[in-house]
Amino acid sequence: MKRKLLFIFGFFFCLAFTAKATHQRAAEITYTWIGGNAYEFTLTCYTYTPSPAGLQRDSLLLKWGDGSEGYIPRVVLQNLGDDYTLNVYRKVHNYSSSGTYTISMEDANRNYGVVNVPNSVSVPMYIETELVINPFLGFNNSVQLLNPPIDRGCVGKLYLHNPSAYDPDGDSLSYKLVACKGMDGMDIPGYSYPQATQSFGIDPATGELRWENPMLQGEYNVAFMVEEWRHGVKIGSVIRDMQILISACDNDLPQIHCDDRYCVVAGEQLSFLVSGSDPNPYNNVTLTASGAPFELAQSPAIMNPETAVGLNPEFEFVWNTSCAHVRNAPYQIVIHAKDDGAPVSLTNVKTISINVMGPKVQNLSAEVHGHDVTLSWLPYSCANAAALLVYRKAGCDGYEPDECETGIREGYQLLAILDDISAYSYTDHDLPQGMAYEYRIVARFPDGATSIVSEAACVELKNDSPLMTHVSNDSIDLVSGQVRACWTHPKEIDGQYVAPFSYALTRVSDGATSVVYEGADTSFLDAGVNLGEVGTLIYKVEMRDANQQMMGESATASAVMLTTNGTFNEARLSWTEAVPWMVDSAQIFKQVDNHFVRIASVTDFTFTDTDVESDMTYRYYVRTFGHYTLEGIMRPLVNYSAIKTVRIGHEEPMEEFSYTLPNVITPNGDGFNDVFEPKVTGLDRIVGAKTVIFNRWGNILHDTDDPLIQWDGKSKMTKLDCPPGTYFYITDITYIGEAGEEQLHLQGSITIVR
């Protein structure tokens, strides 16, 4: 009798324990920045209504991630029907310093009978959220998930869900599935994603959870993480653990009719219609929408009506946008279409992406003043923009951007970053003659978003000075390294100048300047230099009339400077050609037996030959093709490099060594790209370094033995900022390689943008 009583007592004790514990169905933690290092945290839980445990949980324990913990009070208790109760807990917590904190909650237990959580009644509900406090990135509010984490679906029917994530700070969001967590935040033993006839997954960009298709009835729990990204850096995350009830039913998803993507220029109104329908002819459909545009403090979007119900419901989305709405990440709205089918009503979702684009800079025009071009435009219409970016390209194609296109296309050079957005003019100085140029302006916003590009402003510079066309290894005798320099006679000569005309050709070789030719010819073979032995070689030509009056001078033009580097099983070639014309392509030649053969054609300035053998020596040269953009000037312009020799290593490298230099710096003090410095691996292997930076006239502006260079764009002579424009460098690195000390020679151009 005692054993029977004990059994009955134990049965009711277990039943009572189960009734108290089986309640957690879904949960998440979010936060709002209050000020300083204070944040208000919101714990949202959905519990099983019949369980008395839900009523008893008037506070829950939260671990703050800084070594402390505390109970936070319940502020909302609401019965939602269908055995779901909403519980909201809220409390402010202050952090002592910057850092990364993981805020977590663990509560016993989950509700009974979850199919993909073994023995779910005994498994705790664990969720966590990451908070990054970083003053350099700015303080952060977590993502808010506007669509509740409880949903229903049918066996054998497509299931869709979207949390309708809204980020108050406009950060970029990404989504990924994670395993549901249990005791101590560990993956639940035996947990599995729901079984599907085809697939189960989440879209990393939109957050759409797609289950195609559920196989068995029952309750399922799944979890996913929403990560926030600012300037490419993760700044926080939220994990949602949600529950889906799958039933046996013969219902079909209602349909949503509208486009997936819209674009609007800030300041204009965006409006479109959304309609719904149902495959089952007698089912009514309820249309609703949620998402960031409805949550904005300034000029939020509206739906008219807010909820549309009927056999073919329809509402109009209306949003009067402003400059404050421009951001890099698109806005998302999630349309929900719910039918009234029985025994289960199904909900379809559709994610709509909306790009709010910064308006274009208006009325851009350009005027030529000698070698300078002055741009002017109307002051920009969005006062919240951060900067105006001025671009230039050789030639003029005048493209029109696509409907949803922002920013600039490839092929344009960034000339200036104007932090004063009220600016309405800019002068591009010291441009070479014989060229046509196209200018564009783009506005940039604080989060990196860019506006629609301006209309093109095109100019042609007069051909009133000589134009350099060739600085080339002598194609008749490439071995000697003698340089053929050529130029053209100007086509537009001012009437004040008196014929005959003469030229003076100046050579700058490794910083040494000398006049190497004076006369009336437009071509000169410079036998006083060996292209294969110099580090840099630049020419320019001046023109005078019969009275020795200066008529003008050309822009400088460099030779094709080829560098070769042999490593294990490959020969690496790189070359520079700092010239006033456009360089279109290059051909690479390799010596095979006793003659050179063409082995490749490329459109950039590097090539790697893998058809080599170790311990062998190879010889190469490069032939480039280019052109001026004005008509009437010979094309193509063909130039040859020196012949360079390279020996291939015989052993696999023991350690990677690389040393690359940028081609643009923006020394404006913002901490990004302020100095000319390399990206280098194996710095400890460098035993010697020398860098010289000079302007187009050969004047040395900076020289250093520091392998990290660290040039801030100032002249060593004047201590003043060098003006925006193109400069040249020579860098020689000595490093410990497989064969002892090895040499790396780099040369090229660097553009200063201010």
Q: For the segment 661-694, what is each residue's pLDDT rounded down to a tens digit?
A: 888 888 877 777 889 999 988 888 899 999 988 8
Handedness of CA 652, 656, 659, 660 (dihedral sign): positive
Helices (H), ranges, 409-510: none
Percent of the chain with pLDDT over 70: 95
In the predicted structure, residue 13 carries a pLDDT above the cut 70? no
- Percent of the chain clearing pLDDT 90 (strictly above): 68
- pLDDT tens digits for 610-648? 999 988 999 999 999 999 888 888 889 999 999 999 988
Dihedral sign of CA atoms 93, 96, 98, 102 in order? negative
- pLDDT tops 60 at residue 305: yes
DSSP 37: T
Please state, in angstroms and rounded to a whole number, the distance separating the CA atoms of residues 388 and 420.
Answer: 8
Does the CA dihedral 596-602-608-613 come out positive or negative? negative
**Per-residue burial over 483-517, b = 16 or more CB atoms within 10 Å of its CB, e = otherwise:** bbbbbbebeebeeebeeebbbbbbbbbeeeeeebb
Whole-number pLDDT of residue 657: 86
Structural contact between residues 504 and 517, judged by C-beta atoms closer than 8 angstroms: yes
Cα separation, 322 vs 727, in Å, equals 41
Each residue's pLDDT tens digit, 60-94:
999 999 999 999 999 999 999 889 999 999 999 99
pLDDT class of 103 with cuts at 50, 70, 90: very high
Q: What DSSP character marks residue 551?
A: E
pLDDT at residue 708 above 90?
Answer: yes
Q: What is the pLDDT of residue 664?
A: 86
> Where in the chain is CATH 2.60.40.2910?
255-357
In eight-state DSSP terms, residue 410 is T
Instruction: Dump pLDDT digits (tens) for 15-64.
Output: 333 334 468 999 999 999 999 999 999 999 999 999 887 778 899 999 99
Averaged pLDDT, 461-485: 93
Separation of alpha carbons 735 and 395, rounded Å = 42
pLDDT computed for residue 719 by the predictor: 80
For the chain, give every residue range classified as CATH 2.60.40.10.
Answer: 366-460, 463-652
Q: Which residue has the higher pLDDT, 262 or 231?
A: 262
Q: Which residues contact 565 (CB under 8 A, 6 or more apart)?
A: 571, 572, 574, 646, 744
Quick one: 463-652 is in which CATH superfamily?
Answer: Immunoglobulins (2.60.40.10)
Alpha-carbon distance of 518 to 673, in angstroms, equals 43
Give yes or no for residue 398 having a pLDDT over 90. no
| pLDDT for residue 12 is more than 50 | no
Mean pLDDT of 456-460: 94
Q: Quote the mean pLDDT of the chain.
A: 90
* pLDDT reported for residue 177: 97
Q: What share of residues in the chain are helix, strand, coil (percent, to 5)?
A: 5, 50, 40
Q: What tens digit of pLDDT does each residue of 266-292 get?
A: 999 999 999 999 998 889 999 999 999
652 pLDDT higher than 60: no
The highest-level CATH class for domain 255-357 is: mainly beta
Q: Which of 243-254 are b and which e, b meaning 16 or more Cβ less than 10 Å from the residue's Cβ?
A: bbbbeebebbbb
Query: How far is 179 from 158, CA to CA, in rounded Å?
Result: 22
Give the model's pLDDT for residue 401. 94
Q: What span, in angstroms and rounded, lies between the C-alpha atoms of 86 and 186?
A: 25
Give the mean model confidence (pLDDT) for residues 432-436: 79
- Give 410-424 pLDDT, tens digit per residue: 888 888 889 999 999
Q: Judge contact between 745 and 735, C-beta under 8 A.
A: no
In eight-state DSSP terms, residue 309 is E
**β-bridge pairing 582-592 and 561-567:** unpaired
Read off the pLDDT of residues 169-201 as tens digits, 9 standing for 90 and up: 989 999 999 999 999 999 999 999 999 999 999
> At 54, phi and psi to the nearest 5?
-60, -45
Most confident of 279-283, 358-362, 430-434, 675-679: 358-362
- Indicate whether 332 pLDDT > 90: yes
Residue 651 has pLDDT above 70, yes or no: no
Residue 5's SS3 state is: helix
Q: Alpha-carbon distance 109 to 349, whole Å?
A: 31
Helix (H, G, I), strand (E, B) or coil at 20: helix
> What pLDDT is recorded for position 698?
65
Question: Which helix H or strand E contains 17, and what residues bound it?
Answer: helix 2-21
pLDDT value, residue 371: 81
Distance of CA 661 to the CA centre of its chain: 20
CATH architecture of the domain 658-752 equals Sandwich (2.60)
Q: C-alpha 693: how far from its chain's center?
A: 30
Superfamily grouping for domain 366-460: Immunoglobulins (2.60.40.10)
**Candidate from 392-401, 427-436, 471-480 with smallest mean pLDDT:** 427-436
pLDDT, tens digit (0-9, with 9 covering 90-100), for 517-575 = 999 999 999 999 999 998 888 999 999 999 999 998 888 899 999 988 887 789 989 88
* Beta-carbon contacts of residue 380 (< 8 Å; ≥ 6 apart): 361, 388, 421, 422, 443
Residue 675's closest CA among 715, 711, 726?
711
Which pLDDT score is estimated for 115?
96
Q: Beta-carbon neighbour count of residue 60 at 10 Å?
A: 17
Strands (E), 520-636: 523-526, 537-544, 550-553, 557-558, 561-567, 570-576, 582-592, 595-602, 606-609, 617-627
Is the model's pLDDT at 510 over the cut of 90? no
- 222: pLDDT strictly greater than 90: yes
- Dump the DSSP string for 258-307: S-SEEEEETTSEEEEEEEEE-SSTT--EEEEEEEHHHH-SSS--EEESSS
